[in-house]
Amino acid sequence: MPGCEDGTAGRAGCAGAGLWWAEHGSGEPLVLLHGGLADARYFSRTVPALAERFHVYTPDARGHGHTPDGPGPITPDLLMHDTVAFLTSVVGGPAHLAGHSMGACTALQVALRHPGLVRRLILVSASIRPLRPRDPDSPWPGLDELVRFLGPGYGEVSPDGEAHFPVVASKIVTMLTGAPVLAQDDLGGISSRTLLMAGDEDAVSLDDTVALYDGIPDAELAIVPGTSHFLLREKPDLCNAIMLDFLTGAPVPAVSPVRRARARSSRLR
């Protein structure tokens, strides 16, 4: 595919919805989905630890990283379909799925609409409502600031060049501004064992994290202290340990469960 290039580590290719990806390690497949206006490099402190146990794939979403942009808007539905195509054509079937921010929202949609493709699910800094950069109280910078701070990094790898970054940034801001709030009742359709992670100073509100925790059956929750929306880079060793424990271990029989005991009792009525 035009615009694709080899990665600097592991193996890399260009297929599955036209997405560039790199892969590392061996074992059960684990796909990491980066956030908006980031790319697979965001997981540079995550991949080495996970690749000791798993075959880790890190695709760049359309218009991000090494993957070229295309005509038209970028939408949640499009990102979900891209990921499904990647799972079926590159991974070759079900995989563990972990996403950060926008990638977590994509992973959540895949788990809801294509549950057979998702083994265990990790949602990092996910939300039932989109982060809205145009809101006055938003913790995110405006479009001009995003372009100034993130444009050079985009230009380092994008086949479209740094000059195209304002176009992609505008598409992502538009997507976030117009995306609907996810109905909490829909979350009951998640059948994968699920881990929610967030920073205690995350841009995603604790209320939204708890809404996901309450809505996803038997979800597990980790609030990482002293971290923000970028917890995977701020405390990588702790975050990696939490994720590996979840991905490799069985649920622990809690001595005195409260939330899960109530949920199971309610389902039996």
Tell whether the model's pLDDT for residue 251 goes beyond 50. Answer: yes
Structure tokens at 51: 């690749």
Number of neighbours of residue 48 by Cβ within 10 angstroms: 15
Higher-scoring residue by pLDDT: 42, 263:
42
Is 26 a member of any domain? yes
Confidence at residue 185, expressed as pLDDT on a 0 to 100 scale: 79
Q: Give the number of other CB atoms < 10 A from CB of residue 256.
A: 5
Instruction: Classify residue 177: in a domain, yes or no.
Output: yes
Q: How confident is the model at residue 9 (pLDDT cuts 50, 70, 90)?
A: very low
- What predicted TM-score, i.e. pTM, was given to this entire model? 0.90
Per-residue tokens: 194: 């699920």
User: What pLDDT score was predicted for residue 183?
Assistant: 74
pLDDT category of residue 258 using cuts at 50, 70 and 90: confident
Residue 6 lies in a domain: no
Identify the pLDDT of residue 135.
Answer: 52
**Residue 6 confidence (pLDDT) above 50:** no
Quote the number of domains for the chain: 1
What gap in Å lies between CA 190 and CA 216, rounded to an integer?
6
Range of 196's domain?
11-268
SS3 content of the chain, % helix, strand, coil (to 5): 40, 15, 40
**Which phi and psi angles does 99 have, rounded to 5°?**
-135, 150
Any residues with CB less than 8 A from the CB of 192 and at least 6 apart, and which?
97, 111, 115, 118, 119, 120, 121
Q: Assign residue 124 the CATH number of its domain.
A: 3.40.50.1820
Q: In this structure, is residue 120 part of a structural domain?
A: yes
- For residue 10, the model assigns a pLDDT of 45
pLDDT in tens, 112-163: 999 999 999 999 999 887 655 545 555 556 778 889 999 999 999 999 999 9
Quickly state the pLDDT bin for 229 (edges 50, 70, 90): very high
Per-residue model confidence as pLDDT tens digits over 160-218: 999 999 999 999 988 887 777 787 778 999 999 999 999 999 999 899 999 999 999 99
User: Residue 2 — pLDDT band, cuts 50, 70, 90?
Assistant: very low
- Does any domain span residue 86? yes
| Domain annotation covers residue 234 | yes
Return the pLDDT at 8.
37
- The answer, yes or no, to whether residue 245 has pLDDT greater than 60, is yes
pLDDT tens sequence across 70-100: 999 999 999 999 999 999 999 999 999 999 9
In a domain, 4, yes or no: no
The pLDDT confidence band at residue 1, using thresholds 50, 70 and 90, is: very low
Residue 150 resides in a domain: yes
